[in-house]
Structure 1
Amino acid sequence: MNICVYCSSSRAIDHSYVELAADVGVELARRGHHLVSGGGSISCMGAVAGAARAAGARTLGVIPRALLALEVTDHDADELIVTETMRDRKGLLDARADAFLALPGGLGTLEELLEVWVARSLGMHAKPVVLLDPDGLFAHLRAQVDELVRRGFVRRAARDALGWAATVGGALDLLEAGVAQPSEVPPTVTEQLEGE
């Protein structure tokens, strides 16, 4: 399958996160999958792509034209697509991926994760979405969503549309299980309203 990986392009982060991204690239290649990424060549984004290619995976990078000038483009990608806007980029990442994996990252990673998570929770796609959080970076997010469920702002099914993993192997296991059983998708918006 084609796995879209959302991750950091920050050079200021602890190197352990870059190593985690490289481990993801190696493992997805070992399992016979391919990488869809944001087309960057630095930090975690560069590490996951480089490691995936080195281990035999095909890599697709999608990058907006505005970022080309920053000289952060993964020119070694097997396929590189340059888009006009960030919205176009996200649309192509969505279309070309069979599953989504978010690694520790910043606002961009969080925004991309939330968008595909919400779309899945609304029944707009049946692709699995998993967050790999080995050291609790997103523990506050998990607690916040649990509180939103408790107060009635978020349905339990919507919360459960995101898989959580603490290890690379566990994250890929969840993605593979989600692709193998796409019927485990929350009801569509219409079905939800009819059931209330």
Structure 2
Amino acid sequence: MKRICVFCGANPGHNPLYRNEAEKLGRLLAARGIELVYGGGNVGLMGVVADACLSAGGSVIGVIPQALMGKEVDGRHVEHRALNRLEVVDSMHTRKARMAELADGFIAMPGGFGTFEEFCEVLTWGQLGFHVKPMGLLNVNGFYDPLLALFDHAVDEGFLRPQNRAMALADSDGERLLAAMAAFQPEPVSNWLKQEKEL
């Protein structure tokens, strides 16, 4: 994995542990020589992980929609102006597609609606066989326990296949998560989907 896309909050969260773990992830990516791809923000955990990666000598690519350029939150520009590369795109849809195109894998840190949506979308793309890249949740402080329980519930209720549920890797430790992602072997696209394609 030469590049990893990190989805995370535009807010820092209340618990300082979230910021600490974002800093650790940014430094870890830099130490491993893995380029960070993210949403180009200078605020919240987005700014923290990017700053930590840059400070540790890493390389960071941001992708941000034009509509967010020049905006401010708490006196800070939304866009990060000190990245190795900042790509400005026309929409949120284009942003997600471009980040997915650039990345060899995906990690979601704690965040809100946008983070949930981004991670679940790449999971859906993986389920459909549109990519075979590893996808992991950095489950800081048990933040994603309810979401993981929901995934398990979807399996129990027959809405999600176990092999697709297994695509959502999770760990509370960044190094272990990266190791699991490096070892990830995707299941072949399910037979039902192949049959649908043939119809």
TM-score (norm 2): 0.90
* Matching of residues 93-172 of structure 1 within 5 Å: 93-172=99-178
CA distance in 2, matches of 1:99, 1:80: 19
Q: Secondary structure at the match of 1:135?
A: helix
Quick check: 11-20 or 85-94, which moved more?
11-20
Q: Secondary structure at the match of 2:21?
A: helix
CA contact (8 A) 1:134 1:166 kept: yes
CA distance in 2, matches of 1:55, 1:166: 22
Aligned residues: 190
Matched residue, 1:29: 30
CA distance in 1, matches of 2:84, 2:118: 23
Deviations 1:143-183 (A, max 9, x none): 111111111111001100111111111111122223xxxxx
CA distance in 2, matches of 1:11, 1:103: 11
Matched residue, 1:47: 48
* Matching of residues 79-94 of structure 1 within 5 Å: 79-94=85-100
Deviation at 1:89, TM superposition (A): 0.4
CA distance in 2, matches of 1:176, 1:107: 27
Q: Percent identity?
A: 36
CA distance in 1, matches of 2:7, 2:91: 17
CA contact (8 A) 1:64 1:85 kept: yes
Deviation at 1:118, TM superposition (A): 1.3
CA distance in 2, matches of 1:133, 1:118: 20
Deviation at 1:62, TM superposition (A): 0.3
Quick check: 137-146 or 79-88, which moved more?
137-146
Deviation at 1:69, TM superposition (A): 2.7
Deviation at 1:187, TM superposition (A): 2.5
Unaligned 5+ segments in structure 1 are 179-183
CA RMSD in angstroms, aligned pairs only: 1.7
CA distance in 2, matches of 1:20, 1:123: 31
CA distance in 2, matches of 1:42, 1:19: 15
Matched residue, 1:73: 79
CA distance in 1, matches of 2:127, 2:31: 30
